[in-house]
Structure 1
Amino acid sequence: MMSKIKLGILGGGEDSLIGILHRVAANMFDQFEIVGGVFDTNHQKSLDFGDKLQLDPNRVYRDLDHLVAEEAKLAEEERMQVVSVLTPNFLHFPMAKQLLENNYHVICEKPLTTTFEEAKILNQLQKKNNKVFAVTYTYTGYPMIRQMKTMIANGEIGEIQKVDVQYYQGWINPLIHDKDKRSSTWRLDPEKSGISCCIGDIGTHAFNMAEYVTGIQVKDILADLNYLYEDNPMDIDGTVLLRFSEKIKGVLRASQIATGEENNFSVKIYGDRGGLKWEQENPNYLYLLKEDQPLQVLKPGHAYNSDFSLEGTKLPAGHPEGIFDSMGNIYYGVAQAIKDNSKFEGAYPKLHDGYRGMHFIEQTVASHKQGNVWVSMEEE
């Protein structure tokens, strides 16, 4: 019987919104065993949380330095093999860098870093040590997104000619209109979040999805961002034109001030023979549009779906799957890669996806500040 992969976690403690998502995902396919970590900057809170998870208190560490030093003292078969970084944005780079330098596989929340220069450093380091590095663009794990990717690759909608991705939320409204609140939240602090809020947080999901499902990289972008208040240094809304080629164009719309919206992420890809539409709030429905046929609705768990889609489907047809399942599929893809047993390209978002995301964030802000002009997304 193969042993489980030993997983450590940085962040994701008692008050974390994403911690439970990662922990459930890690346990979903029985591939990982959570053995310890640093769950909070307050060590006592970290210990208390580790106790709730029934972890050995000796493996609930004060900080990352402590974790690296103490794990190195353990027998190789007992050590953590992979560490998930679930901390605020500004900690992603130093933590991921230290983990790579100490030969850990890494699972990192997005955005990958706070600057493109930092992303370049991680990219080079990962190429050097060849460790598995996943960036959790969570929505790529949905079975019907994987079905969409497969259908597009197989030419079922023909040559792509239009891409439309939208990610609308309204959660920042209660903060942005209050001067004290918008000045105190870390999401609107460039020192902690980087140069972008909306594009960095949710726009990068939409950008990654556009490249993921089409299999085509964006070449140029033109951005118009909204900061709403002069004393707010971070965008909270934006529209970005995408140019994949002279014949393939697209638009990306992202907002955190779309009043009343919860998590309205939609992906629409149109080819010369058909179109595909998917909405995150109804993730089990993939719509296939043909000019000479009735609208078709594809759902997970059916034999007509691709092997890639079916591998990520855990329940019989008609049983809803959601965000936990999507993240679980990413963790499963990481496990397969660590065990050198990968089956499908795109089973988890790689470091290069996070690298592209950081380039997109910086070029989007540059396009806006230069007067809403076209800028290149060609990699340096």
Structure 2
Amino acid sequence: MATLTLKGLRKTYGKVTALDGIDLEVADGEFFCLLGPSGAGKTTTLKAVAGLEPPDAGRVEIGGVDMDGVEPYDRGVAMCFESYALYPHYTAFDNMVSPLRSPRYRVPAAEARERVGRFAELLGISHLLDRGVGELSNGQRQRVALGRVLVRPARAFLLDEPLSHLDAKLRQSMRAELKTIGAVERTTTLYVTHDYVEALGLGDRIGVIRDGRIVQVGTREQIWNEPADTFVAHAFGKPRINLLPGEVAEGGRLRAAGGEIDLPSGGSGLAPGRAVTLGVRPRDLVLLRGAGDTAPEGMAEVRARVYVTEVLGRQSEVTVTVGDQRLALVVPREDAAGLAPETPVRLAVPGPDGPGGRTLLFDPADGGRRIA
């Protein structure tokens, strides 16, 4: 095991800047998830660590040793590619065992079989080991590729969206298996994904990357409760966070949706007239159904009209119109019964210091940076 340290990494391809000063440290034995959309620089970061794409500037350190000039095969890392990269003429077993037959990592045949068998069982592919690659589905090939990485001794694992080709049910199962493997093996792991559920479920810590830059690094609680900006806030949660343009009014109030949403400022000390963006997560909004229902203390009551209702199993996603804005909220399915379009409803909206959930404040003039 070893720490991974990236200092000022820069990489360009012609006029395209893939990495724009990446600074990151992954602790020894940590399972670190790097989350970002396509083209953010996730795979380029992995390739720079592996030595497959030398950076134009900056450096990579593994275990405190500068990797400048060190060949990929001497770095002690194992990488799983999103594109499988399997040997097409091998069986699943031969693909998985291939690192353990190489001169660099060779182990006795019995130990190799034991390691392949153990990880094949964890990955749910024990019954596929004798099959050729051409006989496997895309999801099965992905698990073989992941198994080939896990069986070999390595100082760090580099995993490039290894669950992206699996169906939803299998992805959920594999997240649990990877969490178990990570807890047992405690091998330093840098895992890249575009799926926030994977990042929240797997990462000891999470880094959010955008346009080749690290936007925020933290635990799942820090990322969720204290997003650095609107980009990070919008990346986590489904339905996505509600982002509403608003302003600071006289008397320390926050107003949005044409003044229909009127909240206390929460002691933020913002000057009247300042433009702000209000961020409210759908699960922090409360639907007031009964005539006698009132907004809980610390929340403001807002009148709205139903735009559309979608049933999602035991819960429903309700989109409502408030003034000139639309908000999404999540409620128990029974609470959404009878909510046809244009039905008038009342909501309870939390303020910046609301109980449980709260309204987040962002600065639209500063790239959406969170201010409260």
Q: Normalising to structure 2: TM-score of the pair?
A: 0.30
Structure number with the higher strand fraction is: 2
